[in-house]
Amino acid sequence: MSTAVIYSNGSQECERMAALLENLKGVSDFHRYELDRHFSKQQFQMEFGGDASYPQIAINDKHIGNMNETLKYLKRLGMLDKQP
């Protein structure tokens, strides 16, 4: 089982990605960190770089990246395959 973490600014993309991660088979623990509640813009940029986009996702303590990078990663692992 996996732990998933999302760093969100509340955008529609972040909300969709959070919903996917929360309901994804194989994810047993989900954490959501929100801009201006759990971290500042400056902290986000220091952690992920000035050109990083929202959301940023980590799985099992491994930073995966933005939404597109995470979808590719999950697909590669077979986590997006239809489940019976």
Please state which CATH class domain 2-77 belongs to.
alpha beta
pLDDT at 83 over 60: no
CA distance 38 to 27: 22
Q: Where are the beta strands (DSSP E) in the chain?
A: 2-8, 27-34, 56-59, 62-65
- Per-residue pLDDT tens digits for 15-68: 999 999 999 988 999 999 999 999 999 999 999 999 999 999 999 999 999 999
Model pTM score: 0.90
Strand order in the sheet with 62-65: 27-34, 2-8, 56-59, 62-65
